[in-house]
Structure 1
Amino acid sequence: MGLSRSALDDLIGLKLRLVQLHFFAVYYAEFGPLGITPAEYAILEMVAENPRTRQGVLAEALSIKRSNMTKVMRGLEERGLLSRAAPADDARAVELTLTEAGETLRQQLASRMQRNDRLAASALDGPEQVELLRLLDKLLASSASHAPNSMELADG
């Protein structure tokens, strides 16, 4: 028998979090053995699309705290998936580049990631998934002006 939670039924944030947990469960069922988290995959994709991006800019774009970002970057670097280097114009900054191994892994995961994501959303048909993405983009666009700065990409 399920618990009643009628006072929570209209809380969008709670439902988003419960759906996020579902998506993470589907993700880890597929990708768990590879040892790459959703945040790490997002970083690989962002660095591939934005070569030599600065670590701080990427942390801000993905809403990852700088201290956590440094730890994640260190792990990706130790696994040989990306390299970090100080740019000539600012020794305090760190630029990121995918290694050959990082690009290979990213390419291997890309199509599987799309299929996995659609599997997690399979209760919705194609047009509903497109509409959900549109609505989520709308919420994300407005969140920068309404949310506190402590938001962080979670790994479940």
Structure 2
Amino acid sequence: MDKPTNEMHERVSGPRSAQQAKTRPLDLTALRQTPGFMIRILQLEVFDRFYRFFKPMGMSPVDYAILLIVRDNKTVTQSELAAVLKMQLPNLVKILTRMEQEGTLKRKRSSRDRRAVELSLTAAGHKRADEADQLNQAFNKQTLAALAKQERVLFMQLLTRLVEEHLKPRDP
């Protein structure tokens, strides 16, 4: 693989002056062969750009995910949502409480299981989810702009396959 670029060096090694980055780039060749490292760096960069792109909506990646999951599923409980988002339930509940106070989300006891709390969107929540989904289409296009159309499709297929494989139960 190619030697690391100065841009990659600056993003990975933290804040440095541009002059320092140019005079002392670190060799990341071995780490660039490590999927976890590369996925993590990409995730950090994408989230940083997400926050800037969605700033006018005041939306975080988890807010976006919650809105779309609740919108796209007839019923979803807080516990199911926490599991999908890999979040601790108390941390998720804080976010859901804020969203409920903002008027985008409703919670009610499940008729199937009185211990469970089901989530649904308000009319304002549906509108916000749809607006965010539209904005996200432009964001995704920008995020994957470095890839040709066929590469974008392949990238998403491979990423989906990896995620699905890693979500399968494993023996210890």
* Distance (whole Å) between structure 2 residues aligned to residue 55 and residue 78 of structure 1: 16
Q: Which is bigger in relative contact order (C-alpha 8 A, separation at least 6)? A: 1
User: Equivalent of 2:133, from 100, 103, 110?
Assistant: 110
Structure 2 match to 1:36: 59
Q: How much does 1:146 deviate?
A: 6.1
What is the number of equivalent residue pairs in this alignment?
Answer: 147
Q: How much does 1:61 deviate?
A: 2.1
Question: SS of the residue aligned with 2:33?
Answer: coil
Percent of counterpart pairs with the same letter? 32
**Letter paired with 1:40:** D
TM-score computed with the length of structure 2 as normaliser: 0.79
1:97 aligns with 2:120: yes
- What per-residue deviation string (whole Å, max 9, x for no partner) do you get for residues 59-102 of structure 1? 21222222221111111111111011112343321000001111
**Letter paired with 2:38:** K
**Letter paired with 2:80:** V
Question: SS of the residue aligned with 1:9?
Answer: helix
Q: How much does 1:13 deviate?
A: 0.7
1:7 aligns with 2:24: no
What stretches of structure 2 of length at least 5 have no aligned partner?
A: 1-21
1:46 aligns with 2:69: yes
Bigger-Rg structure (1/2): 2
Is contact 1:51–1:96 with CA below 8 Å preserved after alignment? no
TM-score computed with the length of structure 1 as normaliser: 0.86
Structure 2 match to 1:134: 157
**Letter paired with 2:165:** S
* Distance (whole Å) between structure 1 residues aligned to residue 116 and residue 97 of structure 2: 15
